[in-house]
Structure 1
Amino acid sequence: MAVITTGVHGNGLEYIEVHSKLCDARIFLQGAQLERFIPRGQAPLLWVSTADDYLPGNGIRGGIPVCWPWFGQHDTHGWPQHGFARNRRWQHIGSEVQDEVVTLKFLLPITDEDRIYWPHDTRLELHCRLSQTLRVSLINVNLDHHPVTLTQALHSYFPIGDIHQLIASGFSSAHYIEFAKGPYAQTTDDVHFDRETDRVYNALAGQQRLHTPNGTIVVRREHSSSAVLWNPWIEKSRRLSRFNDDDYLRMVCLEAANVREDAITLAPGARHELVTEISWLAPGEQPR
């Protein structure tokens, strides 16, 4: 039977743990950040740096940070990179269990401090559906009387064994911006890694795969035609906080997003649900 418990990290961060016949998982209330997901009998599907200190106020370097209500640097100097949702304490508003499938629901309260950045009346929820597959939904509702525009991403970190052996597939016919240059046409279906990679894809198909030495990770998206593919490589790894110099060898980010031309504008009363769904390739499925 599925067991849902609460706990507190030694540095003070609160979390919820799930143990079921289908998976183990842990999600922190700060950022509603899923930090661990292990399908039963399989390897972990999320990566976290061993250099992270799990201190309040810092997003955890790994798992799935929530970037909202903007992705990247804001045009206003001094505003937090990737928005403020990943550093705020979310409310746990409900749990459901059905046939060992656990769904956890979280709500982001908008504080007076947050309204400096976000003077709109909106509701933001994150739902995690935990089975052999991980499904994370970021749900926006515009409660205001005017349209609201936002960008967002589910900044997923994946364990890939060895970046030199990683092949990411499913990128054919898309275009991408990299280091503020482009757009460039993706001329092959596959992406290989031999340098820093920081690509923002648009008009991208809804499924990609990460072919690693330990198996193939399937990454699906819904209500998103954009995604971010990132590995910091050698020099940037040395500058990143809470990140070991050689961590770039073991991780890659492939992020479901609504960015650039895929930014979301919600009419009054409108709702949008960004979804990422992650699993290991099932036995018998074609690897490419």
Structure 2
Amino acid sequence: MKLSPAVSIERLASGLEYINVESDLCSAKIFLQGAHISEFIPKGNKPLLWVSSDETFEQGTSIRGGIPVCWPWFGNHENSEFPAHGFARTSVWQADEVHESNNEISVSLKLPMRQVDTTLWPHQSSLKIEFVLSNTLTVHLTTTNLSAQAFSYTQALHSYFPTSAISDTQVEGLQGAQFIEFNEGPFKQNDVVTFARETDQVYTHAAPEQLIHTPEGIIKVGRENSTSCVLWNPWIDKAQRLSHFADDEYQYMVCLEAANVLSDTVTLEPKQSHTLTTTISWCK
């Protein structure tokens, strides 16, 4: 990967390497483990991603915050010995390309499929992620079927967003969608979403854009090639059981994830590709 003046590769004391972006447009950190963007700050604005203060950035463990890549399944696999949310978020990806212009910086990575255990994923495929960085953040996750048979998969870009008070946070734009929660439903979302308990809602037939109203401002979250999304906050009891998550941090984050799950599961025929996209920004 040929680096630009604004892009460098750095290493933490734990050994994790990350792509560091410092430009006139924004700053960002993208870890090779998991192709995981943990930080994105538009110039002159507030951070758009949240990371737990208890995160230790250890090798082999998914980062609690930023945007974990859940692939090629979301949630728990039917085989309980397989890792939750797939293996992409803990695999070491390969830095691929950097492109810089006056308006944006593009950073892409690929997952080397030769390192993937075929017991977990027996299909021939490729997986690429591209981060387009400006005053907004756009993430493209592209899967290509390189085999002679069709395969299906689920996925999510598990985005964590900051708020100073979850009780004063609302999500607009899910009205009219249906959701499953705790294996119950479907229910219809009639109003804007507020938070007063554990929330783990998997939406289908959702509009392509939502607004997260926080005390600090409004975060706009868009999706392409996705009609499903996941809204999550662990609340009090679950927060105490989570790893790399302080007991009180449920008050300061919310996840709204672009996804392909449930009826939105992707099936790829041979040589076909699918790109899941999410775009996030502060509203002016």
TM-score (norm: length of structure 1): 0.96
1:24 lines up with 2:27 in the alignment: yes
- For the structure 1 residues 278 and 2, does the alpha-carbon distance in structure 2 shift closer, same or farther, using more than 3 Å as the test? farther
Aligned to 1:210: 212
Query: C-alpha deviations, 1:190-244, integer Å up to 9, x for none?
Result: 0000000000000000000000000000000000000000000000000000000
Q: Give the CA deviation at 1:114.
A: 2.1
Contact in 2 for aligned 1:49/1:247 (Cα 8 Å): yes
Aligned partner of residue 88 in structure 1, secondary structure: coil
Distance 1:252 1:174 in 2: 19
Contact in 2 for aligned 1:84/1:114 (Cα 8 Å): no
* Letter of the 1:259 counterpart: V
Aligned to 1:182: 185
Distance 1:99 1:168 in 2: 33
* Letter of the 2:246 counterpart: N
Aligned to 1:271: 273
* Letter of the 2:140 counterpart: S
**Structure 1 segment 1-288 matched on structure 2, within 5 A:** 3-111=6-114, 113-188=116-191, 190-282=192-284
Aligned partner of residue 276 in structure 1, secondary structure: strand
Q: Give the CA deviation at 1:18.
A: 0.6
Contact in 2 for aligned 1:135/1:275 (Cα 8 Å): yes
* Letter of the 1:27 counterpart: I
Aligned to 1:286: none
TM-score (norm: length of structure 2): 0.97
* Letter of the 1:227 counterpart: C
Aligned partner of residue 94 in structure 1, secondary structure: strand
Query: C-alpha deviations, 1:232-271, integer Å up to 9, x for none?
Result: 0000000000000001000000000000100000011101
Distance 1:253 1:197 in 2: 10
Q: Give the CA deviation at 1:154.
A: 0.2
More displaced 10-residue stretch of structure 1: 150-159 or 103-112? 103-112
Distance 2:103 2:276 in 1: 24
Q: List runs of 5+ in structure 2 lacking aligned partners.
A: none
Q: Give the CA deviation at 1:109.
A: 1.0
Distance 2:98 2:141 in 1: 16
- For the structure 1 residues 113 and 37, does the alpha-carbon distance in structure 2 shift closer, same or farther, using more than 3 Å as the test? closer
Q: List runs of 5+ in structure 1 lacking aligned partners.
A: 283-288
Distance 1:168 1:2 in 2: 38
- For the structure 1 residues 71 and 6, does the alpha-carbon distance in structure 2 shift closer, same or farther, using more than 3 Å as the test? same
Distance 1:53 1:91 in 2: 22
Distance 1:258 1:2 in 2: 36
Distance 1:20 1:2 in 2: 9
Distance 1:276 1:160 in 2: 19
Q: Give the CA deviation at 1:111.
A: 3.5
Aligned length in residues: 281
Q: Give the CA deviation at 1:2.
A: 5.5
Distance 2:13 2:115 in 1: 29
